Each structure stands twice: as structure tokens, then as C-alpha cells.
Amino acid sequence: MRARTRLAIGAVGALAAAGLLTGCGDAGSSGTEAPQQEASGAGCAPVAGDQLVALEDDKKLQNADNILPAVNAEAADPQLIAALDKVSTALDTEKLIQLNKAVDVDRKSSKVAAEEFAGGNGLTNGIAKGPGGKIVVGAGNFAESQTLGELYRIVLTEAGYDVTVQTIGNRELYEPALAKGEIQVVPEYAATMAEFLNAKLNKDAQPVSSPEVEKTVEALKGLGERNGLTFGAASAAQNQNAFAVTQAFADKYGVRTLSDLADKCSGNATVLGGPPECQERPFCKPGLEKTYGLAVGSFSSLDQGGPLTKTGLRTGTISVGLIFSSDGAYAQG
């Protein structure tokens, strides 16, 4: 799984849970398990199609994973924060989807995609010069983080800093480097980072993130102060767990929200696809059951927002699949 893993945050409350939970039962040769006991009724059989759409999380199952800059406290001069906040102001989820499409689908480099976005959105307009100096922007080992790192490079360079972007790896590697000042800036996700720091600083702590971005960021900033970190403004862009269907499925069954899915598609024909741990994690299958009352007929063990799940949706072997909310696959055309 990639460094931005969502399934372990929030109600799990413990960082160690990220790699420990696995699926229940033995999968068949197709990876699809036997129907679940709680499923009844006809359900909604898969419908093949190329275009994917995310169903609205209308009851707020997922926590607020808005993107924001994490900054080493000693490096956080006002001009640096103001420059980074230009990215947050310009970015929403739809624009992030288009950025991810440029890299993942159109095969542009993160650097080129970021430069095109910056030019098209006036990202460097009105940026004040800071005191200068060397800044290392760290990035996680996945394309979205690297593209965000390039956006940070662009605005910080305009503010007069000597900036390099360094892909470091997962949060367990780059967070200590950020706290020590070995790197100065990293693009982060509010709820995920809040629970990471919460687990690090508070033994047996209760979750601090929620679907409300203001409360989540407030908790995050408090934890950051204890760990030598500060945070810029949260963008409107989020990268959360999301449940996708094909546009053809949505049109056939008349579903636009997860409530629609539960009301119209609970039953034996409905197949949920995702990583094996989806069956155990509170923001995946159990969350759909508890928050929405969705009962699926079977679960197909695939991957987390990856090619197996997308292929399963497009070829009509699963009805609904776990795909991140900022995935370039949602881009129209």
C-alpha cells in the first residue's frame, strides 16, 4: 500500500494497525468470497463501463483528509507559509483529479504537470519575497505527493528560496526528518497526519480526527506544536477513501450517493471490491454497513485504489470499488 493509506486512520486510532489487519476467510479462485449472511434481496449486479464516478459520502463516513503543507517550525517564516498557502487556495479536489490524470493517465512528469497548473492558475502572482535560504521539500513515494511537492517548489522559488524536491518514502521516514529539520516542507493530509502524530505522542489515545476539517486541523496543529511542526492553510482538495462505480452503473440503478447505494443495492448481486483489509477496517466495508446499512452479497479481494479494482469496475466484475477520491480515473474525457 502507498504511503497515503486511509484505511487505518480515525476509528482505528493506532498507527500499528496499518499493516496488521487482513481479510477474513479464504477467497475463491476469482478472489470473490461467498455471499455474506446479512445480504438479502436482489442487489445491483456490476455494470461494465469506462468512466468511473465516486459516490457522494453524504453521511460523512470518511474523515477530513484535506491537503495542507506541513512545515518544520524553525523554517516557518511568514513569507514561506504565505507562499505555500497560495497552493492551498488554488487547489480543490476536481483540480487535484486533473493533476493526477495529467501524471497517471496522460503520462506527464509531476514537474511538467505542476508547472502547467501553476501557469494556468496564476499560482505565483503576488508572492512576497522571503529571507531566502535552502529549502528541501519532501515528498511521499507516490505521484500525487510528488506533484504537490513540485507545486510547493514553484511558489517557494518565486518567494526567493533555493528549493529542491526530494522523494523520501512513507510517513514513517519523512516525518522524523521533517521534525528534525533535515527537510523543511512536506505535503500532508490532515486526518491521516493527525492520527499519525496522535499515535506517536499519546499512548492509547482516542482518535482526534473527524469529518469536520476545522476540528481536525485544530487537533493537528496542537499535536504539531508538541513535535516541532507547524501547518499552513488546509486546501479544499481531499484525498480520502471513496467508493466508485461506473457511470453506466450509476445511470442504470439511479445512484449518486452512498445512501442511494444502500437503499437500492443492498442484496446478493452487489459485489464490493477492495484490498483484503477492507473487510476489517472501519472506513471500508464495516463503515458502509454501520453508517449506511449497505449489505453486499460478496467481497472481491483486489487492491487499494489500484489497477485491479479499476479493472474490476470497468469490466463488470464488481459493482462498487474502493478508489481514492482524487484519482485521475474520475476525470472526464
Tell me the whole-structure pTM to 2 decimals: 0.86
What's the mean pLDDT in 50-61? 97
Do you know the residue count of the chain? 333
For residue 170, count other CB atoms closer than 10 A to its CB: 16
pLDDT for 242-273, tens place per residue? 999 999 999 999 999 999 999 999 999 999 99
Tell which residue, 311, 333, 329, has the closest CA to residue 101. 329
Indicate left, alpha or beta for 25 from its phi (over 0: left) and psi (-120 to 50: alpha): left
Q: What is the pLDDT of residue 41?
A: 74
Q: What is the pLDDT of residue 21?
A: 28
Q: What is the pLDDT of residue 333?
A: 61
Name the pLDDT band for 204 (thresholds 50, 70, 90). confident
Name the pLDDT band for 228 (thresholds 50, 70, 90). very high
Question: Which residues are registered as beta bridge partners of 134?
Answer: 162
- Chain center to CA of 304: 11
What's the mean pLDDT in 294-305? 95
What's the mean pLDDT in 10-36? 33
> Would you say residue 36 has pLDDT above 80?
no
Give the DSSP H/E element, type plus range, for residue 80.
helix 78-90
Q: What is the pLDDT of residue 205?
A: 83
The answer to whether the beta carbons of residues 316 and 48 sit under 8 Å apart is yes
Cα dihedral value 140, 143, 148, 152, nearest 10: 70
**23 grid coordinates:** 481479510
Residue 33's SS3 state is: coil
Domains and their CATH numbers in the chain: 10-61+240-330 (3.40.190.120), 67-231 (3.10.105.10)
Q: What is the pLDDT of residue 114?
A: 98
pLDDT for 307-317, tens place per residue? 999 999 999 99
> Would you say residue 117 has pLDDT above 50?
yes
Q: What is the pLDDT of residue 169?
A: 86
> Would you say residue 10 has pLDDT above 80?
no
Lowest average pLDDT, out of 14-18, 26-30, 159-163, 175-179, goes to 26-30
> Would you say residue 38 has pLDDT above 70?
no
* Cα–Cα–Cα angle for 205, 210, 214, rounded to 5 degrees: 115
Percentage of the chain beyond pLDDT 90 is 84
Q: What is the pLDDT of residue 332?
A: 78
